[in-house]
Amino acid sequence: MCVFNELSEVTVTSLENNTGWNNNGWAFLLSFAAPMWSLTGYDSAAHISEEVSGAARAAPIAILVSCAAVGGMGWLLIIAVSFATVSVPALLETELALPMGQLLLDVLGKRGMLAVWSFVIIAQFLCGAAQGVDASRVIFAFARDNALPGSRWWKQINQHTQTPVNAVWLVMILSAFCGLLGFSATAFTSLAGASVIGLYTSYATPIFLRVTSGREKLVPGPFSLGRWYMPVGSVAVIWVAFIVVLLSFPSSQTTTPVQMNYASVIVLAVFIFAAASWILSARKWFVGPLPNIVAEEYKTS
């Protein structure tokens, strides 16, 4: 019992800085960036809400359940990993592509590691499939408002499946090209960081408008935080602003071109491209979201 208590104290309270930053406090703050990569994508429920019955209530509940499930299971996994890790530097120096694979190999042996890793591969495949569905609906929504090049192709609905198959194929092809960046750790890490920054910025923008100019304009739907919308929304916006800054920093205090985090460069390039596109072209023809639901009485009139 004493040994377990001592191990628990070391696991929970000790701080080992392997980031390459000299300041332990800053290194601790940067550790928040890694979980943010995992805690993304739960907005998928909102993107497929048109295909869900009772979406006004089901979609936000699905998001809350997703956050609770991922956060809870992730917390348990981190605790288990912390107890099982003997040496962090040894894991970081592994010849395997991912230190987690080395940890499973050390604890479970080769057969056990391969068995668990097979489930990881299946989970990643299912996650990719879900994100493919999510992203295809985003492409479809933008195309339906004629906001993308070639919108007439991407907004087409397949007559047999009643789904935007063209948008799905576009997402799969673009994802395959992005997957090629996995051969470069620098490019992959920078793109992943920029993607997370973009996702959380898209999450925070409507929340920011809700707690500022939209306080008196938004009509609450069947699912609402009630009077808690202000403190919850304010904390969310502050947290996103904080984490976006952290996600722009490299993992080491002294960097080389190979170790540099180019996420901020990618995000800036996207903003410049979007701003230039709006000023030079889109503002002249884009009219905003187009109505796609016709009342029954107008259909018959």
Residues 6 or more apart in contact with residue 256 via CB below 8 angstroms? none
- Give dist(CA 169, CA 156) in Å, integer: 12
Q: 170 near 154, Cβ under 8 Å?
A: yes
CA distances 100 to 14, 91, 94, 291, 292, Å, are 20, 8, 10, 48, 47
Nearest to 148 by CA among 159, 132, 129, 164: 164
Cβ-based neighbours of 23, under 8 Å, separated by 6 or more: none
**What is the per-residue pLDDT for 9?**
59
CB-based contacts of 161, cutoff 8 Å, min separation 6: none
Residue ranges of the chain with per-residue pLDDT less than 70: 1-13, 292-301
Q: Would you state the pLDDT for residue 295?
A: 47
Contact 233, 207 (CB under 8 A): yes
Dihedral sign from CA coordinates of 19, 189, 86, 76: positive
Residue among 66, 55, 35, 63 nearest 207 (CA): 63
Check residue 162 and give its pLDDT: 85
Answering whether pTM is above 0.95, one says no
Domain boundaries, the chain: 105-175
What whole-number distance in Å separates Cα of residue 148 and Cα of residue 163?
A: 18
Say if residues 48 and 136 touch (Cβ distance below 8 Å). Answer: no
The answer to whether residues 247 and 37 touch, using CB atoms and an 8 Å cutoff, is no
